[in-house]
Amino acid sequence: MKPKLALYWAASCGGCEIAVVDVEEHILTIADFFDIVLWPVAMDFKYKDVEAMPDGEITLCLFNGSIRNSENEHMAKLLRAKSKVLVAFGSCAQEGCIPGLANLFTKQQIWDYVYKQSPSTVNESGIFPQPINKMPEGTIEIPTMWDTVKPLNQVVDVDYYVPGCPPQSDQILNVVVAVIDILKNGQPLPPKGTILGAGDKTCCDECGRERKEKKIKKFVRPHEIIPNPKECLMDQGIVCCGPATRSGCGAKCTAVNVPCRGCYGPPPDCLDPGAKMISALSSVIDASEPEEIDSILATLTDPVGTFYRFNLAASILGRGQMEVRKQS
């Protein structure tokens, strides 16, 4: 009997699924070795098929997407129970990713904006989604949205992590081939909590640009200048999250003049990537007078959204606090 494989998406964009399909013809090797039992994006299985399985029936579950509503949470708990090995696959499941930025607001603030205030919304009667709707034909239920977006490991026990937004296809293939190898030869699994399909240095280690430890008088956004392709982007005033990001992606972004956005998550021993970025940026600012420091920092746009773009939900504070309310 073939080992069973499940792929699931919770609160995510679908990019991780595309990255899986991007392994090209090797998908046939995967389908050949595994019996795929759940893959909502590509195949027709129902939740009740999974619910009917005995616990531990699924050998490997690649779970992408963060947890932000009752359906996500139900599926996370269900797949945890049914899977021998549960992998938080991609940045959303690993650390909350872009959906995690919703943690700067409350659910009510988000709903007020989306269903009332946004310029393209017309909602005169003030209708908001209701989790339970009673109709003459019966009752309809939709998932309830939570206030806080959570990475998978804040909801269930996670065995391994594959970082990236999305994980690079060559890395996915490495991971799957390694798993197949382990299963075929009965080798021991790597220690629990291992980060698979990534390096153990920072993105800067893979980046081909040269750092000259320059100091800057002004931050610029990527569209404002044409960067020198050989020099460190930070030296040129562009905020690059490379110093606070794990290697493994091959530094594809910086190779084409785009700063690292931090999607491979924090490097080893980094507790909070945002704090790491505060350190990194502070060391390039060319000023030692408070007023000048402030005027240089004034050219920096949205520090929280930039430093914590992929990991606010997994950061030390985990979400925006409500002492000083951020305006939506």
Partner 1 sequence: MSWEPKIAGFLCNWCSYTGADLAGTSRLHYPPNIRVIRMMCTGRMDPVFVFKAFQAGADGVIVSGCHPGDCHYQEGNFKMLRRAHLIKRVLADLGIHPDRFRLTWVSASEGDRWARFSADFTQTIRTLGPLKLTSDSILEGTYNAA
Query: Is the CB of 155 or the CB of 177 nearer to partner 1?
Result: 155
The span from the CA of 253 to the CA of 75, in Å, is 33
Please answer whether residues 86 and 63 qualify as being in contact, where contact means their C-beta atoms are separated by less than 8 angstroms. Answer: yes
- Asked whether position 325 contacts partner 1 by CB under 8 A, the answer is yes
Binding-site member from 1, 122, 127, 132 for partner 1 (CB under 8 A): 132
How many residues touch partner 1 under the rule CB under 8 A: the total is 44
- Asked whether position 316 contacts partner 1 by CB under 8 A, the answer is yes
* Shortest distance in whole angstroms from residue 130 CB to partner 1: 7
Neighbouring C-alpha atoms within 13 Å toward the C-beta of 189: 17
Residues 274-293 interacting with partner 1 (rule: CB under 8 A): 274-276, 278-279, 281-283, 285, 287-288, 290, 293
Query: Is the CB of 256 or the CB of 271 nearer to partner 1?
Result: 271
- Asked whether position 101 contacts partner 1 by CB under 8 A, the answer is no
Please answer whether residues 60 and 88 qualify as being in contact, where contact means their C-beta atoms are separated by less than 8 angstroms. Answer: no
List phi, psi (to 5°) of 123: -150, 70
- Asked whether position 133 contacts partner 1 by CB under 8 A, the answer is no
The number of helices, as runs of H, and strands, as runs of E, in the chain is 12, 9
- Asked whether position 131 contacts partner 1 by CB under 8 A, the answer is yes
Binding-site member from 59, 64, 94, 106 for partner 1 (CB under 8 A): 106
The span from the CA of 238 to the CA of 280, in Å, is 12
Return the amino acid letter for 307.
F
* Shortest distance in whole angstroms from residue 85 CB to partner 1: 28
CA torsion sign for 182, 56, 20, 152 is negative
Query: Is the CB of 65 or the CB of 320 nearer to partner 1?
Result: 320
- Asked whether position 74 contacts partner 1 by CB under 8 A, the answer is no
Residues 146-205 interacting with partner 1 (rule: CB under 8 A): 146-148
Query: Is the CB of 168 or the CB of 311 nearer to partner 1?
Result: 311
- Asked whether position 303 contacts partner 1 by CB under 8 A, the answer is yes
CA 49 to chain centre: 28
Stretch (H or E) spanning 170: helix 169-185
The CA-based dihedral angle spanning residues 68, 71, 76, 77, taken in that order and rounded to the nearest 10 degrees? 120
Q: Which two tokens stand for residue 182?
A: 């382990």
Q: Which residues bind partner 1 (CB under 8 A)?
A: 104, 106-108, 130-132, 144, 146-148, 271-272, 274-276, 278-279, 281-283, 285, 287-288, 290, 293-294, 297, 300, 302-304, 307, 315-317, 319-326
